[in-house]
Structures are given as C-alpha cells and as structure tokens.
Amino acid sequence: MSDSSNYGHGDEDEDEEEEVVDEAGYKTSKDAVLFAIDVSDSMLTKPDDADPKRPDTMLSPTVAALKCAYALMQQRIISNPSDMMGILLFGTEKSKFQDGDVETGRGGLQYPHCYLLTDLDVPAAADVKQLRGLVEDEEEAADLLVASKEEVSMANVLFCANQIFTTMAPNFSSRRLFLVTDNDYPHASSRDARNSAAVRAKDLYDLGVTIELFPISHPDRGYTFDRSKFYNDIVYSATPSDPDAPMPLSADIKPASSTAKDGISLLQSLLSSVASRSAPQRALIRNLPFEVGPGLKISVKCFILIKRQEPKRTSYIYLPPDSDKPQIAVGSSTLVADDTARSVEKAEVRKAYKFGGETISFTVEELAKIKHFGDPVLRIIGFKPMSMLPIWANLKPLTLCYPSEEEFIGSTRVFSALHQKLLRDQKMALAWYIPRRNASPVLAAIIPGAESRSEEGEQQVPPGLWIKPLPFADDIRQTPETNLVPAPDPLTDAMRVIVQQLQLPKAIYDPRKYPNPSLQWFYRILQALALEEDIPSVPEDKTLPRWKQIHKRAGGYVVEWGQVLDEQFRMWQRDNEKHVKPTTNGAAKRTKAEPPSAGAGGGKAKKVKHEDGEEGVTDAGMREAYATDALSKVLVADLKAWLQGKGQKVVGKKADLVDAVTKYFETKMDVD
C-alpha cells in the first residue's frame, strides 16, 4: 500500500487515522492580507518630542507602518508559508498598479496616487529584502515616499484592493485589508466621493474581504482620530449585532498615538494592534449540533485558541551526486507480508488486536461499527457547581465553542441565555460529547468563560463556553505514596514574604511576553540564511530568570528562610525522635519512631497476637493506617488478627479485609 501522505508516520497513527482531528488543515487555511498605508504629509511627519535614545519613537507613522508590515512578513514567510501578503501605498506622487506588457505593447493599468509596492503573493526572500531596504535606507524611502499634492480618491484605493484580491487570491477562505491612516474625514467637501467610497467598501464585503482599520492620532498637534465622521460607513463590524449575543460588539481599536507619553512607541502599538488581528478565526469544528435539552437543539462552532507550535518541515530534499540543485523527495510507505515479503494491497488489510494470547482481527467495516456511537453531538445531561470540578481533571486542551446561525436560526440567543445563566450562577454543564464522525464519545464539562480585555481595550480572551473533556475511571492512575511533613507556621510565614517579593507584574502570567526561545531561535537562523543576513551568535531567551533583580528583591529573605528551616528541622527531629538517613537512590528515609504510650502509666499500646504467638499491629497503628489510606500495605495476617480481635468476620481476599477495616472505623468511630 503506497501512500505518500503517511511518509514518516508510524503504525500508531494509522490505527487512529479516523479519530485524529485535522489540525494541520485547520492551521494552514490560506489567509491573504493587504496593507493599505497612507502616505500623506501628516503621515510622513516625525514626532517633535521624540526620544533620541529610543529610535522607535523617531519614526514617522508611514515608516512605522512599513516596519510593522516588514515584521509581519518576516513572521509569515516561515510560520505560515501558504499565506499571501501585499503592500499598497496611497497618496503618493508616483503611481504604479500593473506593469505594461512589452511583448503585446499594452500599457499597464494605473490609478492616480496608488502605488503597489508589493503585489499580493506568497512572500519571497526578494520581497522581504526590498521592504527591508525601504525601511532602512532613507534615500530610497525619500525617493518613493513623497506625498501627492492632490487628494487621493478612497474609492480608487478600495477598488484597487478589490482588483488585487480578485486576481491574486480568488479562492482564499480569509481575505483582509489592513488600512493604516490618520485622516478621519477624507473628501470632506465632496459627498459624492464619500458615497462612492462607501459603495466600493460594500463591494469588498460582498466579495468576502474584511476591512480592518488601524487609526493614528497626533496628540502633540491636538488631533484625535474620529472614525464616526467617515469610517463607520466603510468598516463593518464582524461581530453579531444581536444585543443578547454573548460576545458584545468589540470596541474599536484604540487609535495609535504618534507621541505616546506612556513609553509605548507608535511602532509598538501598531505591532500590538496588528498582532491582535493578524490571525483569522478558523473553526476546528463547524456546525456541531448542541442539544441544550430534549427537543431544543442549536448549532455551534468550535475553536482552538492555544496550540503548541513547532518548526514545520515543508518537504524532504536530497542532493543528486551529479547536480548541485536540490531535488524534492517524495516519500511512500508500503505494507509487506512478513513471510514472503509480498506487497499487501489495502483491500487485503485487516486490523488485529491481541486478547488473552489470541489475535482477533476485524475488517474496516466491522471496526467502524464497533467505534460508532452516534453522530457528532454535544448533549447536556446535567448541571453541577463549578466547585465540584477538580483541578486535576485535565486530558486535552479546552475548546471554545461559539454559536452559529447556519444550521439553526436563533442559536445565538439560546447560547447567550445559557452562557449568562451559567456564568451568573457559577455552574457548569456535564455533556455527552462526540466531536466528529467515528470519534469515541467522552464526558465533558461545559464551562462558562467571561471576556477578558487588556488595558488598551484589546480582547485577550473571548467570551463563550469552553468544552473540557473529563477523564474516565480507566484514565486515572494510582497516586504515588508520599509521607509528607507539614511545614510549621514560622516556615510558611517566612516563605510568604519571598513569594510576595517575586510576583509577576500585576500577579498575572502573560504568555505573549514569553516567546518560545527554541522556536524563535530556529526561525531566526532560518531567516538569516534565507535573507543572507548575519547569523546571530546568541539566542534571545526571555524566559531566563533575572538573577540580579531576584537577589536584590528577595536574596536576604531567602537566607533568613534557610535559617528558619534549619531551626524548625532540628525541633522536628527532637520532637519526633526520628533521624533522616539517605537511601541508595539519594532520597531521604525516616527511621520508625517508638510507638506512643497508650495510657497515663506510660505502658505500650496493646498489640494483637497471632496464632503462632507473634505480636501483630496495634490499634493505634491500624487507626493510623486507616487515616493515611495505607491499609493496603498491612499484612493479611495482621488484618485478620485485628478483625478477629474486634469480633468482625474474617472472610474473602485482602481487598475484602481492607473494606471491613474501613467500614469498622467509619461506623464505630473507634477513637480515643
């Protein structure tokens, strides 16, 4: 059986091929982004009170937007190799849209004051080099970035974008126009021009293109961007307009300030805004039936918000001995018979499992029937308080579900009512969950999640319902035996001071501030080789602890805690008359203490005697074993002797004896 798609995968993947979520297809959905950057006089003016020590604050808004596009292109050329990017400058003195054809003699199509810097295409190394030269070479930028004396037609700009998306990315599932400008009221004196621009914007939305506006304000000039003058008719909200929808209308992106006083430069604010909208929403599961109750069914979409990223290999290559040009190697896998080495066709293959020393085989059809538990569904079977969900019940990453009106009209209202009720009462729903065809059913907790926003108003976590698969009894492993010594209060108080000194900013871990150093280092080397840059010598690792700051803030407290630990340990040794002895594997082992006195006279506790005259476990020892869940470690003879001494029946295996002892302590309450 030859199959190039399974090259490099083991047999384990083949066994689960029908149950694996196609996350690769989910992640690699094609996305096309076109930057439209304004090149007006105000956009080319550098801030007056920029900080010379910080070069990012001395950039004009146009150059900052180009650097932002350059950074996004660097990121996508490796991490999303199928995505397209393009850059359109408008308001320039020069015009360029389509180059002429020399062979046919036809002239190129031009639009006044629109300059297509980089056509919408998969970014190549040459495109990145060209854009890098523009943002780093002031002479080249000065030659191209010249504002026109005439006002550019926004209708032409939007029509240019329409032509670009239609010709270069006609079948892309996600197409977006990033519009960067500081002019909140173009064509102030021409109502017809504004209406024409609104019509062109409507054409873009009919084509499936989303317009994302990145406004820029100039506080030093007393100017604040007001999108209500013009852009409310151009930029449509993609969120539901239903007032009962769980996701309220997203607040407009905060206008980036060219002279921010809070230390955030224009480039950083643009990068932050673009990053928040650079990844489109891609549904992992579309139109999953959600049964809220008998006869009440709605439709939801499921999304993955957190997924581990790894360097992705696009292909295998090899260098032929007679050529320096690498060739792509196409892999294939073939099943062969163990005895004759004959190739086995797919129709001859049966899947086999071993049970009791025998091999049981199934056809593909039989296996499909065994694994079939019904069609995909998310069915609520009950409700519980959130406090009953244990923190350790984690099997897989949580999935966010959100209503979809495609299958059932009114899903948003029902979903919203359920979400708000669960959130208000701090309840969770238990559900029967089959995410896709041929998938094994699981019990899942449906947890309500509230919306989270940053201080700048950008959405960090959307509102919705989170699906958390719960473990079955077969998935839970036995907990390891531990003999812990609780820390005394003085030791805990000393550690509390250390923890308070080492808290993260606002006591919140923000993963966006800590990129994966291994992944970033790999991409940085790959980028340097592709763009012919100098290879860096030291990787940037933001996860490394800041030792000097830690020592300055908590070093003295750590030393004091060590002293308290030594003192408390000596007291514990004296009180318990135990000593810690190292074992062969380096762990610590405590020697057994003498049994405590059983009465006022200081006599030893009563022990149960075996039939052969040997002494067994005492009542205090059995009670301690019960309290620490260690009854399974008591010898069977000791259990029988102890139960006989209490007048209990002694029958069955060891598990039955343990149950009898447990029942005795639970019912008789045998305490001192």
| Residues taking part in catalysis | 27
297: phi then psi, degrees, rounded to nearest 5: -130, 135
CB 118 within 8 A of CB 85: yes
DSSP 462: -
Question: Of all helices (H) and strands (E), which one includes residue 466?
Answer: strand 464-469
Collapsed DSSP state (helix, strand, coil) of residue 192? helix
Query: Within 13 Å, how many C-alpha atoms sit on residue 386's CB side?
Result: 12
Q: Which two tokens stand for residue 631?
A: 């009854």
* CA 288/CA 411 separation, integer angstroms: 12
Provide the residue type at 71 as one letter: A
Provide the residue type at 202 as one letter: K
Rg of the chain on CA atoms, in Å: 34
DSSP calls for 212-252: EEEEEEBGGGTB---TTTTGGGTSPP-S---TT-SSPPPPP
Provide the residue type at 560 as one letter: E
152-162 residues labelled b (16+ CB within 10 A) or e (exposed): bbbbbbbbbbb
Q: Which two tokens stand for residue 15?
A: 């066994």
The pairs formed by 7-10 with CB atoms below 8 angstroms and a separation of 24 or more are: 7/316, 7/330, 7/331, 7/332, 7/333, 8/331, 9/333
Nearby residues of 371 by Cβ (< 8 Å), 6 or more positions away: 18, 19, 438, 440
Nearby residues of 596 by Cβ (< 8 Å), 6 or more positions away: 605, 620
The pairs formed by 613-616 with CB atoms below 8 angstroms and a separation of 24 or more are: 616/641, 616/642
CB 419 within 8 A of CB 463: yes
* CA 349/CA 337 separation, integer angstroms: 10
Count CB neighbours of 151 within 10 A. 16
DSSP 322: T
Q: Which of 429, 471, 470, 469 minimizes the C-alpha distance to 448?
A: 429
3-state SS string for 485-518? CCCCHHHHHHHHHHHHHCCCHHHCCCHHHCCCHH
